[in-house]
Structure 1
């Protein structure tokens, strides 16, 4: 201890601590005095004077005057070498480093144990290696390539992970004409780096390797002699000042390949803004799910700002969420911190409160950074907080720790998963970037399979880096299997599953049960009522448990949906873990009952929402699947705006239909589909409609469920008519009608007949359409379906218009409006008023027609009905055109064209195109008119709309032949 601090006082307490490591005997101070006396006797015998070791309160001092002390000689030689380099005296600098290295005659302080001595020995070993590397750089600059190879080859074998030494050796080998040896040196270093660290070599080594492969001319020494070698300063610490200890700096090494988190880092940076001494310390609370990188951000930020805290940089892992160790007590942490701050062990109070008071007293007026990692709760943290504003504290944990925000104004940083680009970037910083860049789509897929969770990403990247023969798609294929994914990401010391398990074990039984059951549901997210259904508890209890799972980072809030309700989501990896626990802890009957309750709950609410939307139980038939009994007030609250509820639950409903179908719950699947069609139709979710039909149809057919099969086929036919690809609608609708007739289902038959009538009209068969509509309206009256009755009457009005009988059409339209009024303002309101407006327009009651169309537009806009809005705009445009307002009509029809384009309905788009062609012709834009009409004809032909196709042909014929075209030519292919 005296030799390590020449010309500085070393206190007796410091010697006691170094020798006995915190557990000194009662006679420790006496033994120190005896040892010092013995040392003086030995030195005196060797001819040293009594002034070599002197007694200076509170200990002893080794004086260098007149004596050679290797540590001081080393410091002097290093300083002279660095000055020579700065002055361009390369040979002189090399000579100084050679003399410095000659001071070593083996490992420093070999055989002496004790933390402080061992730390100093390690530091001096680092100095030796830095000197050796500096000397090699200088010799390389002096052209002594073979000498460098001889001195560094052994050093690189002893410490294979020192990349600077390997870099110098490779350059020396290359300059000596040993190109193959240089490449082998790189390969050996890369192998050891990947095997021991799971990391590729650093950028400097990779660039040198590439340069050697290319025989880069820049590697050759410059002509005219070597310049002085630019060398970093040797990390030789100055001897401590009298009576002082080194500044406590407990920070672990910085995080390699740290990526992203710019916004979070900026938030923490605000803790550094000027704080008065009397203010509380700046406290940053970093929370997030296991593996999201809380510790990484804390350590990275601490290293960034360490220079701002010259008095102490303290760090401790509080083991608050550790699978193998008990949480660290505040008393133990305070004992460690106090010793680091210079308090002798025997002066540390036994009482925790008194230790906190002493700790805060020592930090008063000092600038200290304290990192409290992996905290369990605020109670564990509170005694470790400094008392003044000059200090800064970073806390990481999984609990929200509201007390820290309330009492001290802590700033919370809630870490989420990395954005897609940064997740891929992190992979590329660990795996050679060319492997990631070679297949960017698979790299993005890999990041998603890791939930873009930094821990999982690092594990996956380390596996790729350690296995150069694996491609990114190969690892993606391994992770794609949900049954293996957690196994793949839980190998070695870093385990995703282990991190989840620690949080899970700390849950109360009811919270753990909800966590497991949430993963049974295929829905991407849930609201409180769904969680309550899963575990059969009251809404308030479900909300409490959900919030608790959010607090412990096993669940996340994705936001508020259109109905004003919070939505909760499990990340994929957490859901996989939850399913594992459910399979291990819950019986099959428990899991089945829980899942069925939730699925029946979706059917209950969807049925009620459909009923509210249609003004009654209209426009569909129901199955026999049992419903979940829900509170009437809850149902009213959920479906106050039925379409908004359907919109909020869309993905969950699609998932529920698929899951019910997969589980053989065919009655539930087709019934839930029927209730949800109103959303698919109104908001043009055509892919969801198709997928749900396919799933439900397969389930009903597998079960031999004729009624369910017929209902799904009728819905599928509606879907094809809705998209206006009418040719695809006939087969499912005819099959549905036949099945309904076979089983005697009159309401279902009425629905199929109505859809077939619509199909007839679109395909240009008004007689068949009229007959079917007349049959359908009687059937709907018989079963009491007012909504469909009004809808069919509106179509009968349109049929009479098509036949040129506007007076008869008016009678049907007025009947339709009257029936619609009996059920309130619903989606049917817009349809019947649209037909009514068409009739009024034909009767040249244009003002009345526009008024009715404004009613339509108000209703469909409120419902966000894209296709309905398109038809309303089309009706307005056609009415304006008939009134001679061609410019206004053209503008209105352009809006309609945009809307139908978003709905992907070819016949509707064709109809708008015909109207636009007429408007362009009225404005004298013949070229535009012809282009619009030709495009419309193509769309109408593709959709099988024969009647509309004839109208397009008539409009084209009215324009006359295009320039250069013979009269009577094939216009628009019609």
Structure 2
């Protein structure tokens, strides 16, 4: 042993014997029983196991003092193990060199092979294990000496093949003198002497060898020596022309002698530095380690995932972790299933390599594949060996490499699904996804100085997301930061934020994200590759099968087949099923960027535009149909001139069985498509699609989405000079301002929209704008102007056939009449609105009209009729998931039941309404609920509670421009002192 060029003195014969056993079995467990037997040779004292432990402790102390650390010798049941990782063990290095020399010789590289053998021989510095006693150690020493001589013989055969016979004679003469019974060495000496022109000496060498063999062993020389002697006597020309053939005819030592001195094979690459996370996946692999019998099939773990997700890293890390459970060896091979340069490795080549690792000399490895499989499985019989098959292309590639012994274990990594590995062999599938955010940041901090990552946690989190939390990308980014200490995390984030450069930034040096993706892409069939490219063009977060069908202009079944294939090869991933029952798929961002690159390089601009156009028009078709089915017709919106993409009627029925469910499933996609269409100058499509989605934004109170889409579509329409589309989007933007009671902003939008509609002669759009203006005028308290606008709008709606909007206008007129204390007129208009609304068949329109009729009933004093109408409204809006509608219906119920003297029920209704409005952004609705609660508490004599609710209502109404609302709350506050008994008039009337 040596450290830093200094020899390490190990004291005591027992320590030396135990150290010798550990060195001879480096990387595998040596049991305590074996150590006891070696030290005391069958006569151990009662304290033998304790003394072994003392010797181990002394060795550890010696090695630690020399800087080797605590992990050099580990305790592993049922004994101890020397861990050579990071340290040089001459025996292991020699074995590796001999294997390399054998491979070079097999590849017909005699010069390099001979030099490699010489390197191996130079590791011998004298007799092995000198000064160590004990039968076990001495037997191992003898075997190693025999192996050294075999290496000498192999090296000399190669030197002879290179024509170095003259230089070899002295060395061979010494070896023959030291080992006179070794026929192969004598054979080489005779051949060297003959080629050097020393024919008589060659003959004499034979005669001397024959005499020694007869005298000491009583046998004649073997056929190899005798045939060489005969050839020398007759000057056979083959001695100079077929040297290798003659050398092969010399009997080689029995393979067992070599196999027996081979240490346990350990072909694993070094463990992964800074390995992070994967606790759940490691636990699944640990499940392979349960007790199994030889008659069972081997335990197989199948690690799969996208390129760069860390499949090989996990396999290698777990293999090192579990190495102690496989004392008979660990085999590893990269099968190049997805390799940029090399074709997938053939099983026959892998078997040749594995057999050599297991100690089979090259010349004894069978040629036929079936014979190699048989020998391989025979070598693994009754052994516990771990086999790691990395980067596999198919089950057929690895079937010959699977052991037949149930005590062995196999770990397979691949990007392909390989169902047969699971079905036929019962493999345990370990699906690797990207790292959780915390573990992704931890990985960065293990490579980059942790303080740099911790200094800016926000940017570090952003960096992990830009890398898709993909281990390969994270390692590349971290390596760039580590190599550039003057860069901050923010600086690298800035470089990666540009999608056009991100793959370039993560594809520098040997490790390249782009190259990893390219290996998966290169094996795709043409149609699958085309679909992958085109899906990557879409800005949406996820998508269903019909999108793929539109991009390729093919049927749904073909699109589904291709998308599932992309899932199988890890280029797409399944999100799950949406509320309509459709499977949804998505990209990782880096894979999307790679797909866009391929699309731009492999398809024409016209092809890509046409594909994207079909998909966008498909969304428009579905959104328009969803609006019609939800609204009872094509009501309350305008349409542009964009041609619809035909969608199969059966698919329409499946997707739109519940239109609001489809809208919800596609909401983020619809917003993204509108944004991209607007950015690409597709103004007609952008504003038309926005109009078709308004019913979702309105019912489910997606106010931010509503405003965002309208603003993007408006900008596109204005840039294109599209006055009709711009007017419609201005009308809807005015509607968003009305929802939040920002009346001055609403007036600006609606005034401009009305002018544009009048310029283009669009009567329907003008009526939609007038209806919004009427609502604005009513909120300002100008009931006369509001009534005039509503009557004009109602006439236009009737004329153009927009029954839904007509019913809305009549309902608003009923509300206006209530505000003017024209109660009977309000009831009449309310009944007319309900009649028109029911004619549309659209429940939500009916609910809105019923609500206004119910308000009129309540003011009229028909409280039971009012309660029935409010209950029907509540049933409809709750079924729709209309939160704002539910709040208003509960508000109406609470006020009505208060008027009926059922204060407990009324309070419950109002508190439920308050809970809803606090979840949505509607200060007007919340203010009205707080006002009603304050009035109810006043009637119940709870003055402080009443004041609290009324003050909150005043604060809410102060945020909006609604004089009538502010007047009502101030009046209610003024009536607080002194509190009066309940009046006959319903609360809130």
The two structures share one fold, judged by TM-score above 0.5: yes
String of CA shifts for 1:759-797, please: whole Å, max 9, x gaps: 122222221111111111111100001111111122122
2:456 to 432, 439, 449: 439
| Cα displacement (A) at 1:388 | 3.4
Q: Measured at CA, do residues 743 and 583 of structure 1 come closer, stay the same or move farther in structure 2, by a change above 3 Å?
A: same
2:520 to 503, 508, 513: 503
Native 8 Å contact 1:834 1:856 kept in 2: yes
Q: Measured at CA, do residues 120 and 394 of structure 1 come closer, stay the same or move farther in structure 2, by a change above 3 Å?
A: farther
String of CA shifts for 1:101-152, please: whole Å, max 9, x gaps: xxxxx9999999634798998999999xxxxxxxxxxxxxxxxxxxxxxxxx
Q: Measured at CA, do residues 361 and 719 of structure 1 come closer, stay the same or move farther in structure 2, by a change above 3 Å?
A: same
String of CA shifts for 1:810-852, please: whole Å, max 9, x gaps: 1111112212222224321221122222222223333332322
What aligned pairs does 1:644-793 form with structure 2 within 5 A after superposition?
644-793=661-810
| Cα displacement (A) at 1:429 | 0.8
What SS class does the counterpart of residue 400 from structure 1 fall into?
coil
Q: Which moved more, 1:386-395 or 1:114-123?
A: 114-123
Native 8 Å contact 2:303 2:414 kept in 1: yes
| Cα displacement (A) at 1:79 | 10
Is residue 2:554 matched to residue 1:537?
A: yes
Q: Which moved more, 1:864-873 or 1:921-930?
A: 921-930
CA distance in 1, matches of 2:792, 2:964: 22
Is residue 2:402 matched to residue 1:385?
A: yes
2:44 match? none
1:938 match? 955
| Cα displacement (A) at 1:437 | 0.7
CA distance in 1, matches of 2:123, 2:962: 87
1:114 match? 98
CA distance in 2, matches of 1:294, 1:554: 15
2:630 match? 613
- Which has the higher Rg, Structure 1 or Structure 2? 2
Q: Measured at CA, do residues 874 and 121 of structure 1 come closer, stay the same or move farther in structure 2, by a change above 3 Å?
A: farther
Is residue 2:575 matched to residue 1:558?
A: yes
What aligned pairs does 1:787-806 form with structure 2 within 5 A after superposition?
787-806=804-823
Q: Which moved more, 1:318-327 or 1:854-863?
A: 854-863
2:352 to 331, 335, 355: 335
1:583 to 581, 593, 600: 600
1:631 match? 648
| Cα displacement (A) at 1:596 | 1.1
What SS class does the counterpart of residue 840 from structure 2 fall into?
coil
CA distance in 1, matches of 2:447, 2:508: 17
String of CA shifts for 1:160-185, please: whole Å, max 9, x gaps: xxxxxxxxxxxxxxxxxxxxxxxxxx
String of CA shifts for 1:719-774, please: whole Å, max 9, x gaps: 11223333321111121112111211111011011111111222222211111111
CA distance in 2, matches of 1:898, 1:630: 41
What SS class does the counterpart of residue 871 from structure 1 fall into?
helix
Q: Measured at CA, do residues 500 and 921 of structure 1 come closer, stay the same or move farther in structure 2, by a change above 3 Å?
A: same
CA RMSD in angstroms, aligned pairs only: 3.2
What SS class does the counterpart of residue 411 from structure 2 fall into?
strand
2:265 match? 248
Q: Measured at CA, do residues 718 and 81 of structure 1 come closer, stay the same or move farther in structure 2, by a change above 3 Å?
A: closer
CA distance in 1, matches of 2:564, 2:362: 44
Q: Measured at CA, do residues 257 and 90 of structure 1 come closer, stay the same or move farther in structure 2, by a change above 3 Å?
A: closer
2:970 match? 953
Native 8 Å contact 1:724 1:908 kept in 2: no
Unaligned stretches of 5+ residues in structure 1? 1-5, 8-77, 94-105, 128-239, 963-974
String of CA shifts for 1:187-210, please: whole Å, max 9, x gaps: xxxxxxxxxxxxxxxxxxxxxxxx
Is residue 2:418 matched to residue 1:401?
A: yes
What aligned pairs does 1:834-913 form with structure 2 within 5 A after superposition?
834-913=851-930
2:341 match? 324
1:32 match? none
Is residue 2:568 matched to residue 1:568?
A: no
1:83 match? 58
Q: Measured at CA, do residues 242 and 742 of structure 1 come closer, stay the same or move farther in structure 2, by a change above 3 Å?
A: closer
Native 8 Å contact 1:867 1:900 kept in 2: yes
Is residue 2:305 matched to residue 1:288?
A: yes
Is residue 2:377 matched to residue 1:360?
A: yes
1:820 match? 837
Q: Measured at CA, do residues 886 and 79 of structure 1 come closer, stay the same or move farther in structure 2, by a change above 3 Å?
A: closer
Native 8 Å contact 1:309 1:368 kept in 2: yes
Q: Which moved more, 1:394-403 or 1:833-842?
A: 833-842
What aligned pairs does 1:160-199 form with structure 2 within 5 A after superposition?
none
Q: Measured at CA, do residues 663 and 683 of structure 1 come closer, stay the same or move farther in structure 2, by a change above 3 Å?
A: same
CA distance in 2, matches of 1:120, 1:461: 42
Q: Measured at CA, do residues 935 and 336 of structure 1 come closer, stay the same or move farther in structure 2, by a change above 3 Å?
A: same
CA distance in 1, matches of 2:740, 2:301: 54
What SS class does the counterpart of residue 493 from structure 1 fall into?
coil
Is residue 2:447 matched to residue 1:430?
A: yes
CA distance in 1, matches of 2:263, 2:803: 88
Q: Which moved more, 1:459-468 or 1:271-280?
A: 271-280
1:491 to 508, 517, 526: 508
1:546 match? 563
CA distance in 2, matches of 1:818, 1:552: 58
Q: Measured at CA, do residues 313 and 789 of structure 1 come closer, stay the same or move farther in structure 2, by a change above 3 Å?
A: same
Q: Which moved more, 1:862-871 or 1:459-468?
A: 862-871
1:460 match? 477
1:640 to 639, 644, 657: 657
Query: How many pairs are equivalent?
Result: 768
What SS class does the counterpart of residue 936 from structure 2 fall into?
helix
String of CA shifts for 1:214-241, please: whole Å, max 9, x gaps: xxxxxxxxxxxxxxxxxxxxxxxxxx99
1:31 match? none
1:599 to 611, 616, 621: 616
Q: Measured at CA, do residues 924 and 361 of structure 1 come closer, stay the same or move farther in structure 2, by a change above 3 Å?
A: farther
Q: Measured at CA, do residues 312 and 546 of structure 1 come closer, stay the same or move farther in structure 2, by a change above 3 Å?
A: same
What SS class does the counterpart of residue 366 from structure 1 fall into?
coil
Q: Measured at CA, do residues 896 and 658 of structure 1 come closer, stay the same or move farther in structure 2, by a change above 3 Å?
A: same
2:940 match? 923
Native 8 Å contact 1:681 1:722 kept in 2: no
Native 8 Å contact 1:887 1:919 kept in 2: no
What SS class does the counterpart of residue 649 from structure 1 fall into?
helix
String of CA shifts for 1:313-367, please: whole Å, max 9, x gaps: 1111111001111111111111211222233333333232332233223323322
| Cα displacement (A) at 1:80 | 7.7
2:330 to 309, 313, 317: 313
Native 8 Å contact 2:94 2:123 kept in 1: no
Native 8 Å contact 2:830 2:852 kept in 1: yes
Q: Which moved more, 1:409-418 or 1:920-929?
A: 920-929
Q: When the two structures are superposed, what TM-score results if normalisation uses the length of structure 2?
A: 0.74
String of CA shifts for 1:22-45, please: whole Å, max 9, x gaps: xxxxxxxxxxxxxxxxxxxxxxxx
CA distance in 2, matches of 1:122, 1:481: 53
Q: When the two structures are superposed, what TM-score results if normalisation uses the length of structure 1?
A: 0.75
CA distance in 2, matches of 1:482, 1:879: 58
What SS class does the counterpart of residue 284 from structure 1 fall into?
strand
Q: Measured at CA, do residues 540 and 484 of structure 1 come closer, stay the same or move farther in structure 2, by a change above 3 Å?
A: same
CA distance in 2, matches of 1:588, 1:567: 27
Native 8 Å contact 1:725 1:906 kept in 2: no
Native 8 Å contact 1:725 1:907 kept in 2: no
Unaligned stretches of 5+ residues in structure 2? 1-15, 18-52, 69-88, 102-115, 126-256, 980-989
Native 8 Å contact 2:95 2:262 kept in 1: no
Native 8 Å contact 2:580 2:662 kept in 1: yes
| Cα displacement (A) at 1:551 | 0.6
CA distance in 1, matches of 2:522, 2:503: 17
| Cα displacement (A) at 1:265 | 1.4
| Cα displacement (A) at 1:639 | 1.4
Q: Which moved more, 1:427-436 or 1:364-373?
A: 364-373
What aligned pairs does 1:28-177 form with structure 2 within 5 A after superposition?
83=58, 114-115=98-99
